[in-house]
Structures are given as structure tokens and as C-alpha cells.
Structure 1
Amino acid sequence: MENRPNPIIIQDFITESGASYHSIPLSFTLSGQPLFSAPVILVNHALTGNAVVTGENGWWNDLIGEGKTIDTGVYTILAFDIPGNGSNDYIVENPHDFTARDIARIFIEGLNVLKIQQLFAIIGGSVGGGIAWEILALEPNITEHLIPIASDWKSTDWLIANCFLQEQILNNSSRPIEDARIHAMLCYRSPESFKEKFKRTINQDLLIFNIESWLAHHGKKLQQRYQLSSYKLMNQLLKTIDITRNSENFENLLSKSKASIHIIGINSDLFFTAKENKETFVELKKFKDNVFYSEIDSIHGHDAFLIEYKQLDYLLADIFKAETIKK
């Protein structure tokens, strides 16, 4: 059962860019075992996600729950809402004040307030995985396991370019959330995924291609549940993942950490490409032994980390000592 205590208030926070915030509410959920009675897993949400990770409305309830891979009967599950993600009334007026590292710093402060000194694992997909990398770079021994999925330690030029286009749409479109979402879906899926799903078929009611009606539906659906300020903020965070910015180099940063790093790529990911993930793995292996790379095999692109839960279950089972789902 999800438990949502009162938000933690982060006082007098100064962002990397020098912006000053008197107080930032940090909402969170706790589920599974009571705090301090079991190993703690921090779950970081993706762009339109939130801290509700398990239970009826949990966005990762295929993976997290009673008897699931990440078993709420064994672990304490902690998830923070990225402040400004729309989970409460808090709005970030200027998204450019924040970077992914700022959010990592806020999450670390949240852990300190909760008196959590050691995590069993930090796991996150997409921008949530990027924030997980940033946490490890700031606190090298805060966790036993780092599990970034469909993610990386830096935003590539390709990713930054897509975020730039998203920002243009969000600032200039007359239907910003809908139009930005339509573009984003082209990055979250893949040409093969669309081909298998739609086969150039026509929606006979609307007399347009089914791919067009599907994209329009996704745009409308997000517009109904998401705030423009939240989208702008999350897009800014996605663009600013880089553990080495204004910091030490990659090897210096990560050689300080004893954590096992389990990189999970997706072979069809157009956003955080498998090639980039493999290069990160090769770099890490030069100076660190407990690094692992595995891959989800899917035509569905970046979103496969939310779709291919049986494969993800299989890849994570060893870490969490779970029984794998029967294929």
C-alpha cells in the first residue's frame, strides 16, 4: 500500500545556476516494509511520472509489489516526486533554474531528513536514471546497487537537440502539451514499433491514418492530466544530465564508488541509445569490476522499459533475489 506522508520542506536551496529558493516541498511515497526494518530501494520516476510506483495506480506495478521482482514484502520502497512535477500545487516558474544535479541534491537532502544513510538500490528509467547517476556522483557510497534503465550519465547532443525542439514547441505552439507530446512519442517509440502496430491502416471514422489518431489521442490525454510548467521543467532536466559538468572527470567521479552498477539498455532506444550505454559500460570496466550491462530486446524503443516488464524482471531478478516470471 502506498503511504504518502507530509512533504519534506527543503529550506534555502541554491541551485547550480545560483537561483535561490526559500522553501521547496519534496513529496514522497513509502511502500512495502516500514522504514528501518528492511533494505531501502529508491525509485526515480521518468518525465511524466510521479512517486506513485506501486499499487493500483502505480506506474511500475508490474515490477514492484507483493511477490513481484522488487518485492514489497522484502523491501522498503521510497519514491520522491521531482518538485514541480505536478503532484502537488508547487510550480517551478523558471525551469532553467534547475538541472538534473539539482534534483539529485534535493533527493539527497530528502534522504538526510528521513535519516536514511544507506540504500540497497537506486533504480530509475529515462530522466529518473539520469538523476540516479547524479546521486551516485555526489554520494559515491550511498547505495549498494545503481540501476539506470534506458538512461545514461549524460545527455547526448541528439538528446539535447530533441529537448531543444520540445522546448520550442512548448514555448511557441497554441497547443503546447499536445504538440510536444506528439513529437515526443516519435522518440519514445521506434519506426518498427509503429509499423507492427499500425501497418498503414486507416481510421474509418475519422478518415485519417491510425498512427495519426493514436498520436492525437496521446497528445489530448497528456494535456488533460499534465501542467505546462511541469513539462517545461522535466524537459529541462532531461537536457541537463551530466555528472562531469563543472566537476571531476568520469573516472575520478565513479572510481570513488563501491556500488555495483547495472546498466540496462534497450536495443531499439532512439533516445538513450544502446550504443551509448555500451560505451559507458566499456569506460567503466577500465577501472571498475562490479559493472554489468544487459539489454532489453524490443521493437518498442525507449518506452520498452515500461512495456517489456517480463524481460526487465528477468534482468533484475538476481539483484533483488526474486523468482523470475514464467515466460
Structure 2
Amino acid sequence: MLVKKHFFRFTKGEIQFSTESGYTFDAIQVAYETYGNLNRKKDNAILVLHALTGDAHAAGMYSSRDPKPGWWDPLIGPGKALDTNKYFVICSNILGSCYGTTGPTSVNPKTGNPYGNDFPPINIRDMVRLQKILLEYLGVKKLKMAIGGSLGGMQALEWAVTFPDSVETVVAIAATHELSPLAIAFNYVGIKAIESDPSWRNGNYYLLGQPVRGLSLARMIGTLTYKSHELFKRRFSRNMDAEKGLFLAESYLEYHGESFVKRFDANAYLCLIKAMNRHNIAEPYGSLEKALKRIKAKVFMVGIDTDMLYPPDELRSFIKQLNTAGGYGEYREIESYQGHDAFLVDFEKLSPILNEILETSVQSTFLSESPSL
């Protein structure tokens, strides 16, 4: 499936977009891709929401020479779980990233230089509100589904709360409504790794080069939380990388750190990590119960049994609270030794779950039915 990246741009004079922190952008750009076609009723759209360092390239290839397709290609396309013969699938790069949507690497119209550390604090609601503007531009009035893993799952849940009349079904994979204290602690270590690098220069590093050592270390720390004990045991054991004189586990982390700094920006990483840390769907409403009572979509949460960032018990707890508040929630679980990243790897396990959810969403399901926990 050959695809094309698109860009949606608007100025403050056309659409005023302000963050919850109070910053109004003079201009905004959103990078996005679409797969399939919007039907006449405009009711077949599925919004795919990417994770922390992902991008809009969820499926397909730009040309036959591409080394690999998009990151969720096994799930998106003709005849696949997110069937583009039936659905109009959209994926956009999130606000604050560095893959085409306005973020710290973008040029600030006021200065003519990259925003850098002057990029305003953002949150996940800001990301979702910008996505809503994109969907209106594309002619989508209501989503059949909002779906994502990790940070993408947090966005999907925020869609259900912020725009309750605009989405029918939400699928949050390996995600909950807020980060756990342990996840925040891991993120903090990554933040300090970057800020402790002498090349950080308080985020003003674009003329001299980014803090490679700090960003690489932050990625290594993050990678540990995305995997599992069983994965490291199976893949590496205590074997050595003879060429580098390192354990294979050490060499693996070095590779991920080195490759990450070539594709991502330190300011963008901090911007998004801090947005995750701060996020809580209850914040604007005073309590989680009040936030949950806003949700009209059917909510499906998919846990991963070896996920240390979003343990299954936390997902089950959210579903119970949603149902107690009068909403509709169901829980599914993937058994995998891959850890948190299973949603990017175990497609053969995720695909049938998505097929079932989409079939369920087509049928008439009433809130009085007993959801699965």
C-alpha cells in the first residue's frame, strides 16, 4: 500500500489555537496520513494515535524502495483489522513532536529560530484538541473509533472525555488515564539524564548540536521500561558481544540509544515526557468520577500481562470505575513476554481483539448489558 504524508497548516487569523498553559500559536502545522476513503455519511473514520516517539506514518510505504512500512502496517490496510476497504483511517503526528507537526524544532514566527526550550508547556488535551481541528478540516464529524497504545491510548481516553459526542468507541492499549508514580520516576531519570549533559545548554543547542549523551541515556532508561525480564532472558541471557566486549543486553541498549539520537530531538522528548507526567483526565472536572460520567463512548482497554508501565490491574480498575460511573467498559489482555512494547510487536494477538471490538461496535450494545472485566 503506497501512501503519502500530508500537511495541514493554519494561522492565528484563520483558527486561534491556544494551549491550556495560555500560549497562542501564530501558526500551526500538522503532519498526517490517511488510508481508505471517507464514506458519504462520514461515519467510518478511525483515528489512530501514536505513542511517545512515534509519527504519522502508521501504515504503508512512501515508495517501493522504503526499507520498511509504517509502524502499525500489519493492522491497517485492505482486509486487515483496521480494514481500509471499510474504514477511513487517519493518523497525525502529535503536537510537540518533531515529525512534521509544530513542536520545539519548528521555527517560531516571532523569532525566526526554533522554539527550542521556549516551546510552551502542553498536555494531552492540547494534542487532542488539535486533532479535532484536523478532523473537522478533513470533514469528519464523528469517529467510529479512537485507538492507540501507550501515550496513544492516553490520547484515546482523552478523546472520550473532552469530546464525548465525537467518538463511538475508544480502544486504549497499554495505557490508563494517568501515569503511575513509578512511571513518573522513570521519566524523571530520563529528564535528568538530558539536562545533566553539558551539551543541553538549557535547550538552546541547535547551532552546536543536541545533547547526544543525555538523550541516548534517556532512551536506554526508557527502553528498559518498555521490555520485560522474560524478553531480556530469552533474547540475551548472559551472552557476550565479542566485538564490543559488552554483554548482549548492554550492546542492545547502546544500539537503541545511538539510533534514537539520530531520529529524535531532546527538546521534543522532554516536552512530550512532561506532558505524559502531568496528564490526568480528571483535572478539568475536579474528580475522576465526574470525568468518567462525561464518557459516552464504549471503552475497551487492552492490557499486557508483562507491562511494568501500565500494569493490568490499573486498567481493570479503570474499567470498573467507568462502569460504576454509568459508562460502558470492557477489558482484554494480551499474554506476551515482550512487555509494554507488545502492542508494537504482537500483531497476531492484537488483531483478533480489534476485529472483535469492531464487530461489537457495529452491533447494538446497551449499557444495561454486563461488560466483561
Contact residue 59 and residue 72 of structure 2 kept, 8 A: yes
Contact residue 97 and residue 268 of structure 2 kept, 8 A: yes
Task: Give the aligned residue type for 1:32.
Answer: G
Match of residue 27 from structure 1? 31
Question: Cα–Cα, structure 1 residues 10 and 197, in superposed 2: closer, same or farther, change >3 Å?
Answer: farther
Q: CA RMSD of the aligned region, Å?
A: 1.9
Offset at residue 236 of structure 1 (A)? 1.8
Q: CA–CA distance in 1 between the matches of 2:155 and 2:101?
A: 23
Match of residue 178 from structure 2? 154
Q: CA–CA distance in 1 between the matches of 2:317 and 2:120?
A: 29
Q: How does 1:106-185 map to 2 (within 5 A)?
A: 106-173=130-197, 175-185=213-223
Q: CA–CA distance in 1 between the matches of 2:236 and 2:311?
A: 24
Of 82, 85, 92, which aligns to 2:97? 85
Q: Secondary structure at the match of 1:318?
A: helix
Question: Cα–Cα, structure 1 residues 89 and 143, in superposed 2: closer, same or farther, change >3 Å?
Answer: closer
Match of residue 233 from structure 2? 195
Larger Rg over CA atoms: 2
- Deviates further, 137-146 or 111-120: 111-120
- Runs of at least 5 residues in structure 2 that lack an aligned partner in the other structure: 62-68, 105-115, 198-210, 361-373
Task: Give the aligned residue type for 2:46.
Answer: I
Question: Cα–Cα, structure 1 residues 248 and 8, in superposed 2: closer, same or farther, change >3 Å?
Answer: farther
What does the per-residue CA deviation read over 1:133-189, in whole Å, with 9 as the maximum and x for residues that have no partner?
112111112111100100111122122212211111122235122111111011000
Offset at residue 246 of structure 1 (A)? 3.1
Offset at residue 90 of structure 1 (A)? 3.9
Offset at residue 256 of structure 1 (A)? 2.9
Q: State whether structure 2 residue 344 is matched by structure 1 residue 306.
A: yes
Q: How does 1:6-17 map to 2 (within 5 A)?
A: 6-9=7-10, 11=12, 12-17=16-21
Q: CA–CA distance in 2 between the matches of 1:273 and 1:166?
A: 21
Match of residue 78 from structure 2? 66
Match of residue 44 from structure 1? 49
Q: Secondary structure at the match of 2:7?
A: coil
- Deviates further, 139-148 or 163-172: 163-172
Q: Secondary structure at the match of 1:293?
A: strand
Offset at residue 255 of structure 1 (A)? 2.3
Q: CA–CA distance in 1 between the matches of 2:86 and 2:4?
A: 16
Question: Cα–Cα, structure 1 residues 248 and 82, in superposed 2: closer, same or farther, change >3 Å?
Answer: same
Contact residue 163 and residue 238 of structure 1 kept, 8 A: no
Q: CA–CA distance in 2 between the matches of 1:151 and 1:115?
A: 29
Q: CA–CA distance in 1 between the matches of 2:79 and 2:43?
A: 15
Q: CA–CA distance in 1 between the matches of 2:190 and 2:344?
A: 22
Of 276, 291, 309, which aligns to 1:238? 276
Task: State the TM-score, normalized to the length of structure 1.
Answer: 0.92
Q: Secondary structure at the match of 1:242?
A: coil
- Deviates further, 132-141 or 8-17: 8-17
Task: State the TM-score, normalized to the length of structure 2.
Answer: 0.81
Offset at residue 9 of structure 1 (A)? 2.2
Q: CA–CA distance in 1 between the matches of 2:285 and 2:325?
A: 19
Q: For this pair of structures, how many residues does the alignment match?
A: 322
Task: Give the aligned residue type for 1:6.
Answer: F
Q: How does 1:176-325 map to 2 (within 5 A)?
A: 176-288=214-326, 290-321=328-359
Q: CA–CA distance in 2 between the matches of 1:89 and 1:166?
A: 23
Offset at residue 115 of structure 1 (A)? 3.0
Contact residue 46 and residue 87 of structure 2 kept, 8 A: yes
Q: Secondary structure at the match of 2:357?
A: coil
Match of residue 18 from structure 1? 22
Q: Percent identity?
A: 29
Q: CA–CA distance in 2 between the matches of 1:44 and 1:218?
A: 23
Match of residue 201 from structure 2? none
Of 49, 58, 61, which aligns to 1:53? 58
Q: CA–CA distance in 2 between the matches of 1:126 and 1:26?
A: 21
Task: Give the aligned residue type for 1:255.
Answer: K
Q: State whether structure 2 residue 121 is matched by structure 1 residue 97.
A: yes
Question: Cα–Cα, structure 1 residues 313 and 295, in superposed 2: closer, same or farther, change >3 Å?
Answer: same
Contact residue 8 and residue 113 of structure 1 kept, 8 A: no
Q: CA–CA distance in 1 between the matches of 2:27 and 2:285?
A: 26
Q: State whether structure 2 residue 100 is matched by structure 1 residue 76.
A: no
Offset at residue 289 of structure 1 (A)? 5.5
Q: CA–CA distance in 2 between the matches of 1:96 and 1:169?
A: 21
What does the per-residue CA deviation read over 1:23-73, in whole Å, with 9 as the maximum and x for residues that have no partner?
221221111124656600000010111111110321000111121111111
